[in-house]
Amino acid sequence: MTTLLNVKDLRAYYGQVQALHGLTFSLNEGSLTTLLGANGAGKTTTLRAICNMVRSTGAIEFDGQPLGSRSTENIVRLGIAHVPQGRGTFTAMTVEENLQLGAITRTDKAGIVADIERMYAYFPVLKQRYSQQAGTLSGGEQQMLAVARALMLRPRLMLLDEPSFGLAPLVVRDLFKILGKINREEKVSILVVEQNAQLALELADHAYVIETGRIVMSGSAKEIASNEDVRKSYLGY
């Protein structure tokens, strides 16, 4: 198996405050990996550090290339799409305009049109609402739009920050099912950070647990889910 993302001794800082304390983990090409942890553990910061949106030290390699001092835009162009916490869709634009904006770095017009149709096949509700303003969509629909927009980049790796946040359990289940399908069919590797450990472990193949900026546990999602001590100590269910 090929390693797609390799993170070594990652430390991140907000001014004087250190949020990550030497995080080391990796993600295999094609994998759906979850990073679990409580509120404040450093999940968002980890994704932001990968995209060079926060001051950090350590080594991050994507497909064998050091991300080092590359700009966020450059990192996106390498094939890493980031769906931030709170989704970040353009609420005053329509669904379809959001999807087109997701492809802004591309010039293959026919490919873009075909990809929009593919996204509508994964998320039929977005097709129904293609001309509706994103801000008027439900929370679940907005999250779907955020994922679809990220995929319009044709990324090799998609980073998802708490996609389940604020969504009803049934909606989360639906969304996660589609994420699994996208992972398998589109060959997009996915790193999803979640507080909702139970659902994320059903979705993922590999899992890491982060606590105050350090990885405290890792293993296959099955192993982690079936380890009662880990569940009780770190995952709270």
Ligand X SMILES: Nc1ncnc2c1ncn2[C@@H]1O[C@H](COP(=O)(O)OP(=O)(O)O)[C@@H](O)[C@H]1O
The residues that touch ligand X, with contacts defined as CB under 6 A, are 14, 17, 19, 37, 39-45
- Give the residue with the Cβ less far from ligand X, 34 or 45: 45
For residue 218, the surrounding DSSP H or E stretch is strand 214-220
Among residues 177, 195, 185, the alpha carbon closest in space to that of 236 is found at 195
User: Residues near 177 by Cβ (< 8 Å), separated by ≥ 6?
Assistant: none
Cα angle value 16/19/20 (rounded, 5°): 125
- Give the residue with the Cβ less far from ligand X, 45 or 98: 45
Q: How far is the CB of 186 from ligand X (least distance, A)?
A: 26
- Give the residue with the Cβ less far from Mg ion, 43 or 156: 43
Q: Which amino acid is at 234?
A: Y
The DSSP secondary-structure symbol of 135 reads G
Q: Which residues bind Mg ion (CB under 5 A)?
A: 43-44
Helix, strand, coil in percent for the chain, rounding step 5: 40, 30, 30
Query: Per DSSP, what are the bridge partners of residue 23?
Result: 10
Q: How far is the CB of 161 from ligand X (least distance, A)?
A: 7
Q: Which does 140 bind (CB under 5 to 8 A by kind): Mg ion, ligand X, none?
A: none
Q: How far is the CB of 20 from ligand X (least distance, A)?
A: 8
Q: How far is the CB of 119 from ligand X (least distance, A)?
A: 27
- Give the residue with the Cβ less far from ligand X, 7 or 19: 19
